[in-house]
Amino acid sequence: MPHSSAEHIELTERYAAHNYHPLPVVLESGEGCWVTDVEGRRYLDCLAGYSALNFGHCHPRLVARATEQLQKLTLTSRAFYNDEFGPFARDLAALTGKDMVLPMNTGAEAVETAIKVSRRWGYQVKGVPAGRASIITMDGNFHGRTTTIVSFSTDHVATADYGPFTPGFPRVKYGDVDAIANAVDETTVAVLFEPVQGEGGVILPPDGFLRDLRALCRERDILMVADEVQSGLGRAGTTFACDREGVTPDIYILGKALGGGLYPVSAIAADADILGVITPGSHGSTFGGNPLAAAVGREVIAMLEEGEYQQRAQVLGARLEAGLRTMVGQGVVGIRVRGLWAGVDLDPGLLSGRELCEGLLERGVLAKDTHGSTIRLAPPLVATEEEIDILLDALRDTLDEAQSQEAQSQQAQP
């Protein structure tokens, strides 16, 4: 059994496919906002599993519920009923304000499910000619890694050498309702979008976009499908990011935090006139809706219903934004904040996002870069004000060091 970080890294690089480029830290345990590596060093986790860890590592309430269910019943398949699934479906329907839910496991599976439901609704309810249904998507999107989903990605790294791709997904500029309206035709069944584009660097749409899109979809009789896998369940300072404009989509896509960071749980939620198109045998999942997933998911819903985490995201997000604004012009060229979720654009002439994350790692903070010179910050919603300040101090120190090195380099030039 390996013991040191170097041994673990060597083993991973030798036997695991290289589909990630991790920072050189090997984590062993976690509690709340903090994780500890195999040498005993502690780090403030400001990635939070891409929002899967909204409630932090090993939240005692979630661990207790999962432990209780682990000792009782974990899997039945949906070939049989189980005593956890019905209450979970009821509670998630209530949280979303929808009639029904359809459970899966991962976010990508939930997106695929929403695509299938939208197409089937288009054929059976709207009357789109067979085999012609199309779904409008957005530039800069990230909805998962399946072949169909990357068919409408604009990220070359995600698509290279994976074709041929699935047709039927016209793509328009993110946040542009006029472009969406111009793309709608007789084949359009839905618009698939993220209320905030997380993977893109916490990209925010223009104010009013969600309201205008809601009106357009209603006017043109097409489904408004919101991918809230990252933005939902408290991260944006509201239960769902769509709540920021008082908008309810036709289909919610949920995942990540729905499993409390303990177990993969995802689902879509919609009214009966949409989800009613699903019939026995037309869609399924061996693990979707299993008792363990349902128990954990139901506890997550109960925690969200209290409203504490949404409020924490607002308060802590305001503190994070205020601190980040002091760094604009000091190595930071732009910031975007929604709840406790920030995208930070760096001066690419100073350092890359990867280099900044490496500097944060040296200072005991974990973060993730995206698209070259941008990093994303998403501390768990259980963070304290002091922990937000630790993040800000580490970020400021890393930028100061980079600027100092740049100044020294320029002075050394003849």
Q: What is the DSSP letter of 126?
A: I
Find out whether 237 and 310 touch, Cβ atoms under 8 Å: yes
The dihedral over CA atoms of 407, 412, 413, 414, expressed in degrees to the nearest 10, equals 140
Cα–Cα distance, 110 to 255 (Å, whole number) = 7
Find out whether 340 and 316 touch, Cβ atoms under 8 Å: yes
- Quick count: other Cβ atoms within 10 Å of Cβ 130? 6
Cα–Cα distance, 274 to 192 (Å, whole number) = 15
| Preceding amide of 280 cis, omega within 30 | no
Cα–Cα distance, 63 to 388 (Å, whole number) = 25
Cα–Cα distance, 224 to 189 (Å, whole number) = 9
Q: What is the DSSP letter of 44?
A: E
Cα–Cα distance, 389 to 400 (Å, whole number) = 16
Catalytically annotated residues:
142, 227, 256
At residue 322, φ and ψ (nearest 5 deg) are -60, -40
Helix (H, G, I), strand (E, B) or coil at 285: coil
Find out whether 295 and 84 touch, Cβ atoms under 8 Å: yes
